[in-house]
Amino acid sequence: MTSKVIVNSLTELEQTQDFIRRHIGPSQSQTQAMLKDIGAESVDALIDEIVPSDIRLADLPNIQESKTEVQALADLKAVASLNKVNDTYIGLGYYGTLTPNVILRNVLENPGWYTAYTPYQPEIAQGRLESLLNYQQMCLDLTGLDLASASLLDEGTAAAEAMALAKRVSKNKKSNLFFISADVYPQTIDLVKQRAEMFDFDIIVAPADDVVNHDVFGALLQYPSASGEVRDISALIAKVQERKGIVAVAADIMSLVLLKAPGELGADAVIGSSQRFGVPMGYGGPHAAFFTTSDKYKRSLPGRIIGVSKDTRGNNALRMAMQTREQHIRREKANSNICTAQVLLANMAAFYAVYHGPQGLKTIANRIHRFADILSLGTAAKGLTAVHANYFDTLTFNLSDGEFNKEDIVTRALAAGVNFRTDVAGQISISLDETTTRAKIAGLFDILLGEGHGLNVSELDEQIVTSGHSSIPASLVRESAILTHPVFNSYHSETEMLRYIKKLENKDLALNHSMISLGSCTMKLNATAQMIPVSWPEFANMHPFAPMNQAQGYKKMIDELADWLVELTGYDKMSMQPNSGAQGEYAGLIAIHKYHESRGDSHRNICLIPASAHGTNPASAMMVGMKVVVVACDKEGNVDMADLKAKAEELADNLSCIMITYPSTHGVYETTIAEICNIVHEHGGQVYLDGANMNAQVGLTSPGFIGADVSHLNLHKTFAIPHGGGGPGMGPIGVKAHLAPFLPDHALINVDEATAGNGAVSAAPYGSAGILCISYLYCAMLGKQGVTDATKYAITNANYLATKLGQHYPLLYTGKNGRVAHECIIDLRPIKAESGITEVDIAKRLIDYGFHAPTMSFPVAGTFMIEPTESESKVELDRFIEAMVCIRDEVRKVVSGEWTLENNPLHNAPHTLADITDTWDRGYTVAEAVFPVPAAAANKFWPTVNRIDDVYGDRNLICSCPPVETYID
């Protein structure tokens, strides 16, 4: 007897491995149900209604087909193996480091940390806020100043920010000159020079001692110097300050463990990279830069600062302080354009300090320094004397003469799999690090001196111990204590550390708990397979200035990703250097500026920006010396075409560009976008299309096709790099051919023949290259069909939310047929007018339901901008809708008087365990407070603090760890 068996084809069976259906949340049946509610026949029919036909692409993008996770990882592994990871002594701000495995797995590789958002909802972000406060404290202790930011993008940009701060605060208002010591890292000099050119500052690069001969508003010195010298710079600092100049010191964080703090030498600001505190080199990043300054310059500090405030129970609680300095509030008057920074990496560095503690760090730094002493003593004994007698970890040798020939030594080094710094003629430099061992030092002797030198590392060590040899001048030996706070002295066993990391993780709501529907931020799936290669040694341990022939795996991966992005954006060329969206804007505007200049149009300096733009747009325009002119939006949220035409015409002579986001931040596809591009072009301007909303374009349309000239992509939005709690990100830019000659390049690694000599916007040639594998795998695993489906389902999900929520809250803007793009704005102002309940109350009440609030009050005050992304299933969308509908009902109870305005679950949200274990005297029940719906009870998220008082925190600014006394009960 034959039974009825349905035999699928092998092709059908193989589809079960398809990644697309894992990435896209809604199943087929869920999609059908959503379409029914939306009132559309099919996903394609819905898309046809929404995306204007004149900008629709005819075909799927020409990238490859999707691959399975297994295949994509195997293929990328083969590419990675083209990298030759040498033993690296290049230094210049990037060093070998041993990431403690407890931090590697439980922070860097843990979605509880890497999928969190920037802590704009501090009540559910106390874990990463505490860690960032630790980071600030660590930076303060090591640099000897009293105010720190919570990370900047890299050392080079931090130096440029220090120059900008110097200009803001210097009392030497007459001077337009900034001094850069010639022994600052070459990539920093290059980057700061370009920044100065854009600001119209004058620059002089000269030996440090020369600074006393100039009347400057600021100066940048490096400590220890690029060639490794440790010298007392306090007299130079004092001289500059006598003339009211500001001195920034770029410092090596590991050396500061042993050296006198730059703050104690008089520095006004100290910047540097915290990479070597346990963060892999990753071919240039991501890493956190640090920035500290004096309290009196607090209003001028760039980037985010974490501060201590109080919650409604009077308990200490952390939040981002003094946000009024930042671009999202101050726009073109902001201190900088920084938005996405390097939170995940700052956390790693802070945990490294917590794990090792002051003693552990001293041991690590002393060990590095001892190896440098051994190397220096040994080579000197054989006639090869290092240039500087005082150093921390870096020795420079002159190799121009006779016996020690640079070419021979470098050849021997490469043959032994070793990289030295070689970019200075007649010299090599060797920077040692935490990974240096006795065996490696012995190997270095062989390379430098040839075999048979007879040196013995242990004997040299004994000599040093018995002779009391010292290579740090007595005046520069650190005497002040570091890391005295309990947090740095409590978690040195792995068990303790593991639990501390977990304790903080538990305080934070991330994507592994529930959806985070942040409009404009595209918090989509960060697939685990995409994250795995980040920690492969072939990618993690590559120095950004390694010779190109050793980085062929990176090159292949980056080139291929760039090709895909060219196809998806419709541009001709990508620059993979900018390491955030805002840096991309800066790079793109520089390209526009230089293009105009090349045509004799350097006077074109007006930048049109619609009122709805993100704050980074005007802040970036200001950084390239452009004048911002705001274009109005009409009441449908579209660019006011009459206003645009009038302004473009009136300002035509000086029009540089427009910066426009598409679809607009109002969540609609403006039908006039092609016309907008035309108008600006007709009046001699260029079109910068902010690509933050590319998740509504990929595969359906593209900026290049629409008619724009340049865009950044936020790879940490559209292309699956996780937000990391506020960074890292990548902001590569695409340009049309005419702008390609003006893309950034790099002083040490030429990224393209055509752009050789162009200045840089990031410290490393490919920015935070170490996370590009995430976007690479995103494209590889989704393929042409998947990336396009992602866009379609992002739009479908948004329209489902708009349809359902629209029944309870007014939608602020919709397109001509009542549809939205990939995000929608609901207007909460009528609720406020009717009930007194604010958007903040609703945001905090969502926490009780287990959700992170959507984007609040951007781009319109008193609204939520909701972006579900394609990765959320209908089940999760329905949970969110349920929460929002219940909240709407709660508002009604306030309106009806059932609850008073002060005693209701919205006003008192979020509710904590402390609330419900205290005497309960509220006008609503405990269950209503904390388990308002069964879904919230089934997956309860407990905020660890009550609502935080922002005003108190800014009035009583504390940005360091609470003093030791507060820990003693």
Ligand X SMILES: *Cc1c(COP(=O)(O)O)cnc(C)c1O
Q: Which residues bind ligand X (CB under 6 A)?
A: 339-340, 520, 580-582, 614, 616, 661, 665, 690, 692, 714, 729, 731
Kindly tell me which of 580 and 908 has the beta carbon lying closer to ligand X: 580
Kindly state the smallest distance separating residue 692's Cβ from ligand X, in Å: 3
DSSP H or E run through 885: helix 874-895
* Residue closest to 795 by CA, chosen among 637, 702, 663, 636: 663
* Number of Cβ within a 10 Å radius of residue 182: 16
Q: In the complex with ligand X, which residue's Cβ is closer, 24 or 713? A: 713
In whole angstroms, how close is the CB of 178 to ligand X at the nearest point? 25
d(CA 866, CA 805) in angstroms, rounded, equals 10
Give min distance, CB of 436 to ligand X, in A: 36
What is the amino acid identity at position 448? L
Pairing of strands 177-181, 218-223: parallel
Nearer to ligand X, 341 or 881 (CB): 341
Smallest separation (angstroms) from ligand X to the CB of 673: 15
| Minimum distance of ligand X from residue 958's CB (angstroms) | 26
Q: Which is nearer to ligand X, 376 or 520 (CB)?
A: 520
Whole-number minimum distance, CB 731 to ligand X, in Å? 5
The label of the residue with tokens 């005819």 reads 58
> What would the two tokens of residue 168 be?
């803001």
Helix/strand/coil for 342 = coil
CB of 117 vs ligand X, minimal distance in Å: 11
Q: Is 16 exposed, middle or buried (0-12, 13-18, 19+ CB in 10 A)?
A: exposed
In terms of CB distance, is 149 or 520 closer to ligand X?
520
Of the candidates 787, 666, 771, 770, the residue with the CA atom closest to the CA atom of residue 722: 771
Select 26 or 731, whichever has its Cβ closest to ligand X: 731
Nearer to ligand X, 550 or 580 (CB): 580
> What tokens were used for 56?
């629709």
829 in Cβ contact with 863 (< 8 Å): yes
Segments in 290-340 forming alpha helices (H): 327-330
Rounded to an integer, what distance in angstroms lies between the CA atom of residue 924 and that of residue 899? Answer: 8
User: For residues 276 and 614, which CB has a smaller minimum distance to ligand X in the complex?
Assistant: 614
Least separation, in Å, of the C-beta of 938 and ligand X?
33
**99/517 with CB nearer ligand X:** 517
Residue 670: CB minimum distance to ligand X, A? 14
Closest C-alpha among 221, 140, 147, 94 to residue 762:
94
Rounded to an integer, what distance in angstroms lies between the CA atom of residue 711 and that of residue 705?
A: 12
Residue 934's alpha-carbon distances to 124, 804, 849, 882, in angstroms, are: 20, 20, 9, 11
Closest residue by Cα to residue 351 from 123, 171, 103, 534: 103
Half-sphere exposure of 247 (CA within 13 A, CB side): 28
Tokens of 13: 């069976």
Which residue from 376, 158, 105, 373 is spatially nearest to 275, judged by alpha carbons?
158
Both ends of the chain: CA-CA distance in Å? 81
Considering the complex, what minimum distance in angstroms separates the CB of residue 144 from ligand X?
A: 30
Smallest separation, CB 714 to ligand X (Å): 5
Q: What are phi and psi of 736, to 5 degrees?
A: -75, 160
Complex with ligand X: residue 278 or 691, whichever CB lies closer: 691
Nearest residue (CB) to ligand X, 609 versus 826: 609
Residue 807: phi and psi, rounded to 5, are -75, -15
**How near is the Cβ of 522 to ligand X at its closest, in Å?**
8
Q: Which is nearer to ligand X, 448 or 696 (CB)?
A: 696
Q: What are phi and psi of 636, to 5 degrees?
A: -85, 0
**CB of 695 or CB of 904, closer to ligand X:** 695
At its nearest, how many Å lie between ligand X and the CB of residue 397?
Answer: 41
**Nearest residue to ligand X, by Cβ distance, number only:** 581
Cβ proximity of 384 and 449 under 8 Å: yes
- Give the side-chain half-sphere CA count within 13 A for 579: 31
* Residue 316, amino acid: N
Nearer to ligand X, 436 or 616 (CB): 616
Give least dist CB 690 to ligand X, A. 5
Q: Could you tell me the sign of the dihedral formed by the alpha carbons of 22, 28, 29, 33, in that order?
A: positive
* Beta partners for residue 396, in sequence order: 429
Residue whose CB is less far from ligand X, 731 or 868: 731
Q: Least separation, in Å, of the C-beta of 50 and ligand X?
A: 19
- Minimum gap (Å) between residue 659 Cβ and ligand X: 9
CB of 667 closer than 8 Å to CB of 825? yes
Residue 796 corresponds to which amino acid? T
In 3D space, the residue among 767, 768, 749 whose CA is nearest the CA of residue 758 turns out to be: 749
State which residue, 668 or 935, has the beta carbon closest to ligand X. Answer: 668
Give the three-class secondary structure for 906.
coil
Q: Which is nearest to 655 in space by CA: 717, 604, 579?
A: 604
Sign of the Cα torsion 324, 330, 335, 339 reads positive
